[in-house]
Structure 1
Amino acid sequence: MTGKARYFRWPLLAIFVFCAGSLAQTPEDSGAACPLTPPASFSELPHIDALPTPFVYRDGRAVTSRADWSCRRREISAQLQHWIYGDKPPPGAEVNSHLEKDALTVKVADNGQSVSFTAKILWPTTGKPPYPAMIGIGRSFLDNQALLDQGVAIIEFPNNDIGDQSGAAARGQGKFYKLYGKDHSAASTVAWAWGVSRLIDALGAITDSPIDANRLGVTGCSRNGKGALVTGALDERIALSIIQESGSGGSASWRVSEAMKEAGANVQTASQIVTENTWLTQAFARFAQQVDKLPVDNHQLLGLVAPRGLLLLENTDMEWLGNKSAYLSALAAREIYAALGAEQHIGITQVGGHQHCVVPDSQKAAIHAFVERFLLGQSVNTRVWSTDADYTLDLKRWIPWTTPNLAP
């Protein structure tokens, strides 16, 4: 396939204007109308040894229906943002887009300022537009040729341009902070999530777009995997999240990682990550020595993706990433999917014997299946749950709560 032959299927140049929220599509946050109570003060937070239950509201009411879950989901999201990642600005910015060949430029105006960024697009080698697309935070570390051969476009999102992650001193730098101020609570991961949401706004507004804005995935590895997970969790328009070796601040549980370290494992915990980079809000530092005071944990971040597609690619050779912690976190998140009747929509494949951010052959079939199901709409088996590690798992300690069968 030559680029020119493919590009001639649509206009080479297009300019569009969009005000977020004007399209009748899946909302960015389906629970936006649910009421929220103000967050507790840090001193009021109780110590919670186990992974916090997803199925009880802050006021003690049980979650009994899927409508309840929508509001409980918003409550969990608000807590994760307040205590760990910082606040994502709501939809409402004016978005302009400019598409030419393999480049999509998005201009966002809000808060009296404007910024723009450009995402590179790799076009598929098969199929016809409008194509589903996988958005790579930074870039995709998956088997990209296989994605293109499946008829899936790849969008390379310039995350470092939006929120700098070059070290702890880079906090508040990047185009997001030009709009919202260098002291905004959002960590770089939330700044990236906001940028992807504005990119989705732009795609959804393009008439006869070569990209199908209703069939989008997000992926990233390592530090960018943290951002991909936050992005997929905070925007319900993303149909599939493939999160690769994201570790602390990503798929791993803060509590389980701390227990692993206390048992002698060389694993990244809250006390180390808060000094490393910009991935978490500054307010999170107060939990560095007492993660048991967190009212939430990252199994709930994984659970915010439910019932949409979520595939975790883990590497058991990377002890620093908290392999056992990520596996337990995934098990707990699977209970949220089970409560929603969507247990087959979450998967994990955990295998060693390969370099960091390199997909081994043994994980490619899982990726292929999840892409087929959630981006291509095919009826395929996505029961993927495996690890090559020999864990001893104390499930009663970490997941003591009961999983309800949520009524429609």
Structure 2
Amino acid sequence: MLSMSIVTSQTIYDESKVPTFEVPDPLVTFGGEKINSVRKWEKVRRPELLKFFENNVYGKLPKALKIDSYTILEQDNNALNGKAKRKQVQLTFKNNDKILSFTILLYLPKNLDKAPVFLGYNFYGNHTITEDKAVLISTAWANNNEDFGIENHTLIEESRGKRTHRWAVEKILDAGYGLATIYYGEVDPDKNDFSDGVHNLLYQQTQRQPKPDEWGSIAAWSWGMVRALDYFEKDPEIDATKVISFGHSRLGKTSLWAGATDVRFAGVISNNSGCGGAALSKRKFGETVGRINTSFPHWFCDNFDQYSDNEEALPVDQHQLLALIAPRPLYVASAQEDEWADPKGEFLSSYYASSVYELYGKKGIGTMEMPKVNEPIQNTVAYHIRTGKHDVTDYDWENYIKWANAFVK
């Protein structure tokens, strides 16, 4: 265990008030055994860490649920003024006499036979990421949003293109990557109700909600990313060996868990993912485990509640989640004004995960000193903190593309 510095229970935004806490060593087992080889990491330490996160943080899937069928709802080989191929693919799942479907919006560069792809969820429908009129509007439940004209939990035409600034579609295509996005509410609506998403397909006869160690919404959304990857392996236009999971905020937590649970993801990006994502829980800076479990009780499994306002009892921390992604490339990004997500905690998590990457001979974050704002560290483990707020910007995408070119493509 590595010791760090100094106590309180209100929201902490002052480094001098961060409690003293222990950083559990990723390379020492729960039983105290030192891990000094890749083989031991993969056979002993990685499985026990994965199992702990599965049973006590995100929740495990009750059983496998694979794609029943997929349908290409729409495609155009001359989309975005001739720049891209567009495809809208619906994946359907059936179990317990119930059906769930979600739609992947795909933009692929025209000049490539097989494209590497960034895969990420969006918050308000596929039609919000682009002005493209051909993109279908989801009929799934949505959070109301006055700015987007969303009321009665219904997505509408008025919100088309409202989130184009978060998705640098042209930059991604110009760099020779495809973009795949899914409206997360189609997989599991983001509310504390486990009756209307994918969970419902896997309940036992009288079950109405997941068991204490079973999946919350983050694990359900991660499952959806993994199923999208299953589809990509069937699509001849996609290089399924070069799919990068991407996510912002709660969906950054999701992209990390997807990358940890499925080693087929070639790289993982966490954008401003904060508590329960990249940020260290034990620092208790900004959002805490207690706050997140109170505000969003459906995101994690019920077993995680035992660590609310009790982070010191956690035998793990989020750097060990990041370490589960090793040796695949990992990018953690923060925003200067996003104190709620604890940028320093996100950085330190990347730093402490690096010892596992080094075991593989990969270069991680070589210093405990945070980089200056807008001065990225780009190694197999990459990190930047940019100016601005909790968001995704062109600056973020420019750096993700540069890093992917060096470490994934």
TM-score using structure 1 length: 0.72
Return the alpha-carbon distance in structure 2 between the equivalents of residues 121 and 237 of structure 1: 19
Task: Quote the residue 1:225 is aligned against.
Answer: 252
Q: CA deviation at 1:113?
A: 4.5
Q: CA deviation at 1:66?
A: 1.0
1:272 equivalent among 259, 270, 291: 291
Return the alpha-carbon distance in structure 2 between the equivalents of residues 173 and 148 of structure 1: 38
Worse-superposed segment, 77-86 or 126-135? 126-135
Q: Is the 8 A contact 1:93 1:110 kept in 2?
A: no
| 1:176 is aligned to 2:161 | no
Task: Quote the residue 1:81 is aligned against.
Answer: 54
Task: Quote the residue 2:114 is aligned against.
Answer: 130
Structure 1 residues 106-255: aligned runs within 5 Å: 106-110=91-95, 113-124=98-109, 126-138=110-122, 141-166=166-191, 170-181=192-203, 182-184=208-210, 185-206=214-235, 209-255=236-282
Task: Quote the residue 1:371 is aligned against.
Answer: 404
Pair 1:92–1:163, CA change in 2 (3 A)? closer
Return the alpha-carbon distance in structure 2 between the equivalents of residues 91 and 64 of structure 1: 33
Q: Is the 8 A contact 1:115 1:178 kept in 2?
A: no
Return the alpha-carbon distance in structure 2 between the equivalents of residues 255 and 193 of structure 1: 24
Q: CA deviation at 1:95?
A: 3.7
- Residue-by-residue CA offset, 1:6-49 (whole Å, 9 max, x unaligned): xxxxxxxxxxxxxxxxxxxxxxxxxxxxxxxxxxxxxxxxxx94
Q: CA deviation at 1:340?
A: 1.7
Pair 1:110–1:91, CA change in 2 (3 A)? same
The letter of the residue matching 1:163 is: D
Q: Is the 8 A contact 2:120 2:246 kept in 1?
A: yes
Return the alpha-carbon distance in structure 1 between the equivalents of residues 67 and 107 of structure 2: 26
Q: CA deviation at 1:111?
A: 5.7
Q: Over aligned residues, Cα RMSD in angstroms?
A: 2.2
- Residue-by-residue CA offset, 1:78-117 (whole Å, 9 max, x unaligned): 1011111111356563542223412111122446644221
Q: Is the 8 A contact 1:94 1:110 kept in 2?
A: no
Q: CA deviation at 1:374?
A: 4.1
3-state DSSP of counterpart to 2:28: coil
Return the alpha-carbon distance in structure 1 between the equivalents of residues 37 and 95 of structure 2: 37
Q: Is the 8 A contact 1:133 1:154 kept in 2?
A: yes
Task: Quote the residue 2:31 is aligned against.
Answer: 59
| 1:351 is aligned to 2:371 | no
Q: CA deviation at 1:147?
A: 0.7
Pair 1:96–1:375, CA change in 2 (3 A)? farther
- Residue-by-residue CA offset, 1:224-269 (whole Å, 9 max, x unaligned): 111111112211111111111111111101101x2x4xxxxxx111
Q: CA deviation at 1:307?
A: 0.8
Q: Is the 8 A contact 1:161 1:174 kept in 2?
A: no
Return the alpha-carbon distance in structure 2 between the equivalents of residues 193 and 275 of structure 1: 21
Q: Is the 8 A contact 1:160 1:174 kept in 2?
A: no
Return the alpha-carbon distance in structure 2 between the equivalents of residues 310 and 155 of structure 1: 19
Count the aligned residue pairs.
313
- Residue-by-residue CA offset, 1:286-310 (whole Å, 9 max, x unaligned): 1112111111110011111111111
Return the alpha-carbon distance in structure 2 between the equivalents of residues 360 and 196 of structure 1: 23
Q: Is the 8 A contact 1:132 1:215 kept in 2?
A: yes
- Residue-by-residue CA offset, 1:39-69 (whole Å, 9 max, x unaligned): xxxxxxxxx9411111122333322221211
Return the alpha-carbon distance in structure 1 between the equivalents of residues 195 and 26 of structure 2: 34
Task: Quote the residue 2:301 is aligned against.
Answer: 281
Return the alpha-carbon distance in structure 1 between the equivalents of residues 199 and 340 of structure 2: 31
3-state DSSP of counterpart to 1:275: helix
Q: CA deviation at 1:143?
A: 2.7
Task: Quote the residue 2:13 is aligned against.
Answer: none
TM-score using structure 2 length: 0.71
Structure 1 residues 303-342: aligned runs within 5 Å: 303-342=323-362
Return the alpha-carbon distance in structure 1 between the equivalents of residues 96 and 30 of structure 2: 32
3-state DSSP of counterpart to 2:233: helix
Return the alpha-carbon distance in structure 2 between the equivalents of residues 106 and 374 of structure 1: 30
Q: Is the 8 A contact 2:332 2:347 kept in 1?
A: no
Identity %: 26
Q: Is the 8 A contact 1:300 1:333 kept in 2?
A: yes
Pair 1:171–1:74, CA change in 2 (3 A)? farther
- Residue-by-residue CA offset, 1:157-185 (whole Å, 9 max, x unaligned): 2222112223xxx2414431121234222
3-state DSSP of counterpart to 1:191: helix
Q: CA deviation at 1:331?
A: 0.9
Return the alpha-carbon distance in structure 2 between the equivalents of residues 244 and 295 of structure 1: 25
Structure 1 residues 4-23: aligned runs within 5 Å: none
Pair 1:173–1:299, CA change in 2 (3 A)? farther
The letter of the residue matching 1:318 is: D
- Give unpaired runs (5+ residues) of structure 1: 1-47, 261-266, 377-408
Return the alpha-carbon distance in structure 1 between the equivalents of residues 326 and 111 of structure 2: 29
Q: CA deviation at 1:135?
A: 0.7
